[in-house]
Structure 1
Amino acid sequence: MPFLSRILVPVDLSEEALALVQYALHYAQAFSAPLELIHVWEPPQYVAPDLLVAAPGWDSQSLEKVAVDTAHKRLVALAEQVSQPPGALQYRVVVGETATAILRAAEEGKHGLIILGTHGRRGLPRLLMGSVAQKVVARAHCPVLTVHLYEHTK
């Protein structure tokens, strides 16, 4: 088995992301491997990412910039919740098709393991959206650990 030098954890910034990152931290500690969080913003299919977003008293910005900035702030907040000491985790936001961007990040970063959450969608939602986890597992250059993320019901 190849040496586990780095772990990549793609997160969708849902409520379950914190549990996934905490789960991944156990592996990182066991293997003394650094953990990198990645969030992929996938541009909407029918809206140009350079579409300008504006509001009164606000400088107009591209949809992509607004989305990436917002995702980055949420990713920083997530990393701060689990990082001991603060700043110990690496994290970044990338733009692209989700599965392809995850695979590219794993290869370029020479990650030895991907820990990926799955929502377990069934039926029409899975048919329409596909499964990011399935695509990553099928094409990854390294082992992929999938963790089923249960939706919290109140």
Structure 2
Amino acid sequence: MSTFQRILMATDLDEASEAAAHRAISLARHLKAELAFVHVFAPPATIYSAYPDFTAVLPVEELKTAAQRALDAWLTRIEAPSQAKRLLHPGEPAPTILDAAEAYVADLIVVGTHGRRGVSRVLIGSTAEKLVRLSPVPVLTVRE
């Protein structure tokens, strides 16, 4: 019996995520584990002008629909198993992924990393690093 029964693969739909997805798919097949893919998209921004009566909000449903289409296309491109769950959430990546892992009852999180160092890591931040530091379950990072 495998230690890992439920694998959550976090993706931002880039090349680093693609390498991690292939590793997650392979692990899930080998371990006969359930697999879910989670994509976190940026929540809509609220824009306030100098006029108190004016508030414009980007359309949430359009943003969610676009994110769903992008996730579906990405999963098709990487040939994700049809039985894998697809999760889509708005929010800040690291905490939202951790919440998704808890809700999915994942016992392993797989995430891609660009392997940035120095100033670029400081300026851009590292979701993978935050997951490793904060996750109550093991996190497998896969370098691009």
TM-score, normalised on structure 2? 0.82
Alignment of 1:135 with 2:130, yes or no, is yes
How far does residue 51 in structure 1 lie from its aligned partner after superposition?
A: 4.2
Separation in 1, partners of 2:56, 2:7: 35
Is the partner of 1:135 in helix, strand or coil? helix
Render the CA deviation track for 1:26-56: whole Å, top value 9, x for unaligned.
Answer: 1101110111001101237xx4289455xxx
* Number of equivalenced pairs: 136
Letter aligned with residue 64 of structure 2: V
Counterpart pick for 2:69 among 61, 68, 73: 73
Alignment of 1:26-105 (within 5 A): 26-43=26-43, 47-48=45-46, 51-52=56-57, 62=59, 64-81=60-77, 82-84=79-81, 87-105=82-100
Q: Which runs of 5+ in 2 are unaligned?
A: 48-54
> Percent identical across equivalent pairs?
35
Question: With CA pairs under 8 Å and 6+ residues apart, which has the higher RCO, 1 or 2?
Answer: 2
Q: Which runs of 5+ in 1 are unaligned?
A: 54-61, 150-154
Contact 1:72–1:92 under 8 Å retained in 2: no
Q: Which residue of 1 aligns with 2:51?
A: none
Separation in 1, partners of 2:122, 2:92: 17
Separation in 1, partners of 2:63, 2:130: 24
Render the CA deviation track for 1:65-84: whole Å, top value 9, x for unaligned.
Answer: 33321121121122233134
Letter aligned with residue 39 of structure 1: H
Aligned-residue RMSD, C-alpha: 2.3
Contact 1:12–1:39 under 8 Å retained in 2: yes
